[in-house]
Amino acid sequence: MSYQVQTIAQHILSGFHTHYALFQQITARAPQAFALQKWGEIEQISKQRISLYDARVNDTVTELKKHTPQHTPDEALWHQVKQHYAELLSFHPQAELAETFFNSVFCRLFHRRYYKNDFIFVETTLTKPTTLPIEAEFRSYFPVISGLKPTIRNMISHMDLQCGFRDLEQDIRLLVKAFIKQAPSTHHSHHGLRFDILTAPFYRNKGAYIVGRVVSKSGVQPFIIALLHHPQGGLYIDALLTKSAQMRIIFGFARAYFLVETHAPSAMVGFLQQLMPNKTTAELYNAIGFHKQGKTEFYRDFLFHLQHSEDVFTIAPGTPGMVMMVFTLPNFPFVFKVIKDVFAESKPFGRDTVLARYQLVKSHDRVGRMADTIEYSEVVIPKKKFSPSLLETLKATISNSLRDEGDYLVIKHLYIERRMTPLNLFLQTADEQTAKKVIEDYGHAIREMLSVNIFPGDMLLKNFGVTKHHRVIFYDYDEVQYLTDMNFRPMPSPSLEDLYSGVAEPSAAPNDVFPQQLCTFVLTDPKLRAVFEHSHEALLKVEYWQQAQRDIQTHVVKQIYPYPASQRFYRHIK
């Protein structure tokens, strides 16, 4: 093996080690920020981690160019580099992340024609079990030794939350009572139970979470314990979650990534997947902050689906967008979005603005109401996966983002999101009770976005989706802006001149918004409008929006609970 092969492989691995060490250093600031209730710092930690990866890849590429300045790779050399790099990962605790880092570096160095398994890890080489078993990420507790409540107390103390509880004994009593009620099949004697707890707390926004499982003769019962700060000081346990659907929402695609320390991400993901088997590997890597690895895992799933299904792309259901061309695979639960060459006249901005707004949402707290997006460049898809009519439509609408390479179509820039049922279509077939519930949740979605300084812009129902749990999620970001940049105005009374001239609309500057008009343009169905006005009358008043702006400007951080109020132990605490 040549010295050059070893040098290149080791240099890339060193670049990865630098990235991972910095990632963990940033994450390690979360416990103290949570303990001191520095919510602004929690937000900054989240943003720093998202931008960290590309900076470290660029550093590595810059250094490598000094040793490999040519634009065309020496194929024999890079084949050996990949082989040697794979050997270096044989007993590496973050091997899968290191493979992805290698791919990123190579793809920045060379042309897309070399993006194949000979030179990068299109397919992982990690076919064997992880170097570190799942047990490396959790600690087991045995109530048979000291009893149930002392074991729970010991379990919580090992979390090292860096601040005390207001009344831990009371919380433990409520926790045990809730567990018996929610999971009666696991109610065994102390000698028949074992707790497996992930060693690090999961931090996000104003909450911390303990994630684990109870193992008994009845099987495995996953759970999440939610911890919050009491307004009068001290921590308290706010909720116990044992239902799979609730746990999946907490780890959902519309939420900010968790801040959690881990030495072996694959082991943590393996543990979480045992608790939530319906979650994909990609989704769980995203949830714990490794969104680049999530992107890799998703792409492998996508390639597998293309190769092993008869699926052909179709236009995604819903009202055609004025900025994005959206298509989907019927049996693959995602939509593919490409920026159109020409926007509708009502969209007075360009491509760069759309790119910036999607990036804004990516790095922002999505508060459970904005879908995460996966962004790709130079995506190669077989032409046979597109019908002739769809191909013509794509060429007519997004030709600037396409490159025809014979049997393949290359999409230069692409966003991928979880597919949902557009809210306007959902309401067409929903029964009255379900429609009422979803419209109420639509209002809650708007309120929660406002609380984190997001103004969705176009609030038409077609821009929101409904999940299978009937949760309303916003997914169209081309008009997203910061709430504090908007000017919320009451509807002016028309002047006599306006009345005589027939002017129906008040004059408005670009960032002017009239909340009173919300129902007029969004909810034309009288029944749905009545439901919204009854549940969210405040959203129709300019004072509500202006107060939301003042809250942001004075750093008031509201608590948004990612679980039902019925699960809370202390519902009176706001």
Going from the C-alpha of 84 to that of each of 61, 93, 292, 461, the distances in angstroms are 18, 17, 23, 53
318 annotated binding-site participant: yes
pLDDT confidence band for 128 (50 / 70 / 90): low
Tokens of residue 504, six digits: 């129906």
In angstroms, rounded to a whole number, what is the distance separating the alpha carbons of residues 246 and 256? 16
What pLDDT shows up at residue 133?
A: 72
What pLDDT shows up at residue 351?
A: 94
317 annotated binding-site participant: yes
Compute the mean pLDDT over every residue in the chain, rounded to the nearest whole number. 92
Q: Residue 456 in contact with residue 446, Cβ under 8 Å? A: yes
DSSP string, 411-458: EEEEEEEE--EEHHHHHHH--HHHHHHHHHHHHHHHHHHHTTTEE-S-
Specify which residues 373 forms β-bridges with: 417
The tens digit of pLDDT for each residue in 150-172 reads 999 999 999 989 999 999 999 99
SS3 per-residue string spanning 357-422: HHHHHHHCCCCCCECCEEEEEEEEEEHHHECHHHHHHHHHHCHHHEEEECCEEEEEEEEEEECCEE
Specify which residues 414 forms β-bridges with: 376
Cβ neighbours of residue 379 under 8 Å, at least 6 residues apart?
Answer: 410, 411, 414
The tens digit of pLDDT for each residue in 324-369 reads 999 999 999 999 999 999 998 889 999 999 999 999 999 999 999 9
Going from the C-alpha of 409 to that of each of 239, 317, 333, 574, the distances in angstroms are 49, 22, 21, 53
What pLDDT shows up at residue 498?
A: 54
In angstroms, rounded to a whole number, what is the distance separating the alpha carbons of residues 321 and 479? 12
Q: Residue 380 in contact with residue 408, Cβ under 8 Å? A: yes
Asked whether residue 185 carries a pLDDT value surpassing 80, the answer given is: no
Number of residues assigned to the chain: 574
Helix axes 95-109, 3-27, angle to 10 degrees: 120
pLDDT confidence band for 135 (50 / 70 / 90): confident
Three-class DSSP category at 482: strand
Cβ neighbours of residue 133 under 8 Å, at least 6 residues apart?
Answer: 267
Q: Which amino acid is at 310?
A: E
Q: Residue 11 in contact with residue 98, Cβ under 8 Å? A: no
Mean pLDDT of 513-533: 90
Tokens of residue 413, six digits: 């820039």
Mean pLDDT of 289-306: 96
What pLDDT shows up at residue 527?
A: 92
In angstroms, rounded to a whole number, what is the distance separating the alpha carbons of residues 83 and 119? 9
To the nearest 10°, report the CA torsion of 495, 497, 499, 504: -80
Three-class DSSP category at 235: strand
Tokens of residue 47, six digits: 């943003």
What pLDDT shows up at residue 129?
A: 53
In angstroms, rounded to a whole number, what is the distance separating the alpha carbons of residues 492 and 506? 7
The tens digit of pLDDT for each residue in 6-31 reads 999 999 999 999 999 999 999 999 99
SS3 per-residue string spanning 540-573: HCHHHHHHHHHHHHCCCCCCCCCCCHHHECCCCC
The tens digit of pLDDT for each residue in 35-57 reads 999 999 999 999 999 989 999 99
* Catalytic-labelled residue, pool 372, 441, 458, 478: 372
The tens digit of pLDDT for each residue in 225-260 reads 999 999 999 999 999 999 888 999 999 999 999 999
Tokens of residue 452, six digits: 């984190």
320 annotated binding-site participant: yes
What pLDDT shows up at residue 504?
A: 54
To the nearest 10°, report the CA torsion of 14, 20, 22, 27: -170
Sheet holding 421-422, edge to edge: 421-422, 464-466, 472-474
CATH class held by domain 422-567: mainly alpha
pTM of the entire predicted model: 0.93
What pLDDT shows up at residue 509?
A: 80
321 annotated binding-site participant: yes
Q: How far is CA 4 from the centre of its chain?
A: 40
Q: What is the number of other CB atoms lying within 10 angstroms of the CB of residue 433?
A: 8
Q: What is the number of other CB atoms lying within 10 angstroms of the CB of residue 135?
A: 12
322 annotated binding-site participant: yes
What pLDDT shows up at residue 492?
A: 77
Own/partner contacts of 239-244, CB < 8 Å, gap of 24 or more, are: 239/561, 239/563, 239/567, 239/568, 239/569, 240/175, 240/178, 240/179, 240/182, 240/567, 240/569, 241/563, 241/567, 242/179, 242/182, 242/183, 243/182, 244/276, 244/278
294 annotated binding-site participant: no
Tokens of residue 145, six digits: 């030794």
In angstroms, rounded to a whole number, what is the distance separating the alpha carbons of residues 166 and 159? 16
Q: Is 372 a catalytic residue?
A: yes
Q: How many CA atoms lie within 13 A of 63 on its CB side?
A: 15
The tens digit of pLDDT for each residue in 479-517 reads 999 999 999 999 876 555 554 555 555 667 888 999 998
What pLDDT shows up at residue 186?
A: 64
Q: Greater confidence, 182 or 427?
A: 427
Find where tokens 């027939």 sit: 502
What pLDDT shows up at residue 183?
A: 77
Asked whether residue 554 carries a pLDDT value surpassing 60, the answer given is: yes
DSSP string, 84-126: HHHHHTTT-TTHHHHHHHHHHHHHHHS-GGG-STTTS-SS-S-
